[in-house]
Chains A and B, each alone.
Chain A
Amino acid sequence: MQKYFKLFIALSSGTLFGLGLMISQMVDPAKVISFLDVFGDWDPSMALVMIGALIVFGSGFWLLLKNKTHSFFGKAINICQSSELTPKLYIGSAIFGIGWGITGICPGPAIANVSSGDIKIYVFILVMILGMKTSEWVKKRV
């Protein structure tokens, strides 16, 4: 029973995530590019997506979860505790920033767009996964 509830939680949480991406219009690459275009015709809407998400997630985390080591169902909470600033973190984030700046699409919105039926979004997701796998391959060898 608990197993099914956990799976239901995963599905519901994902559904809320996709709904939030759509209502906030983060699914629209044009909105994202306008947000990143601070030196041009700047549309700060996407900053408010982040602020809204941070208010809810931040208060939930600091009020409910800060001192918890286990989830509601007793599983260890899986959070990276490292504070090590590695070259991989900086290089990876910079590369991600280039791709995000070119397309205006990050992984969540890419998935949220699948029901649009646009062939380009399927290609985006496949190539993005290929990029992830390539990085895994590189990490094993460097």
Chain B
Amino acid sequence: MTEFTPILSLIGGAIIGLSAIILLFFKGRIAGISGILNDSMTRQRQEILWRWLFILGIALGPLIGLYFGSELPEALDLSWVELIIGAFLVGFGANLGNGCTSGHGICGVGRLSIRSISATVVFMSVAIFVVAILP
């Protein structure tokens, strides 16, 4: 059991929402991480750079977070088998389903897209089920 952190989670969530609205307003793009990551390796050169910078930003953001007293988890508490199977399914599923927690869960649900609401209900329910049955 982890500690309930309503204020920090709400503030962090609001910052994520702000990031997504900035990207859509200035760049006309949805902040869907799985899609941006996948397209960063497939599109033509002039379409790649902003994606790499966006991804670099996600990696750099937490370094700023250190100044606010936030921390990254020290070590992942996952076996290699769980890690590799889980990571493969995350990548495969996000690509096949056209989005993940960010693109569907935040941007899509925020625009009331029926596809994204359906996707979010499915992946949330399945993930809750998996956590309930795993030891």
Contact = CB atoms under 8 A, between A and B. Distances in A.
Interface of A: 6-7, 9-31, 33-34, 36-41, 43-46, 48-58, 60-61, 64-65, 70-73, 75-80, 82-85, 88-103, 105-108, 110-116, 118, 120-121, 123-136, 138-139
Given A126-B87, A128-B90, 6 more contacts: A30-B2, A36-B124, A54-B106, A78-B30, A101-B134, A116-B73
A27 B12 CA distance: 11
B19 to A, nearest CB: 4
Given A30-B73, A57-B21, A132 B16 contact: no
Chain B interface SS verdict (over half): helix
Interface of B: 1-6, 8-31, 33-34, 37-38, 41-42, 49-51, 53-65, 68, 70-78, 80, 82-98, 100-102, 104-107, 109-111, 113-115, 118-120, 122-132, 134
Contact of B76 (A53, A99, A120): A120
A39 to B, nearest CB: 5
A134 to B, nearest CB: 6
B28 A23 contact: no
B70 A25 contact: yes
A26 B2 CA distance: 12
A41 B1 contact: yes
A71 B75 CA distance: 40
B24 to A, nearest CB: 6
A9 to B, nearest CB: 4
Contacts of A112: 58-59, 61-62, 72
Contacts of B59: 18, 111-112, 114-115
Contacts of B38: 129, 132, 136
B93 A93 contact: yes
Contacts of B76: 29, 105, 118, 120-121, 124
B78 A120 contact: yes
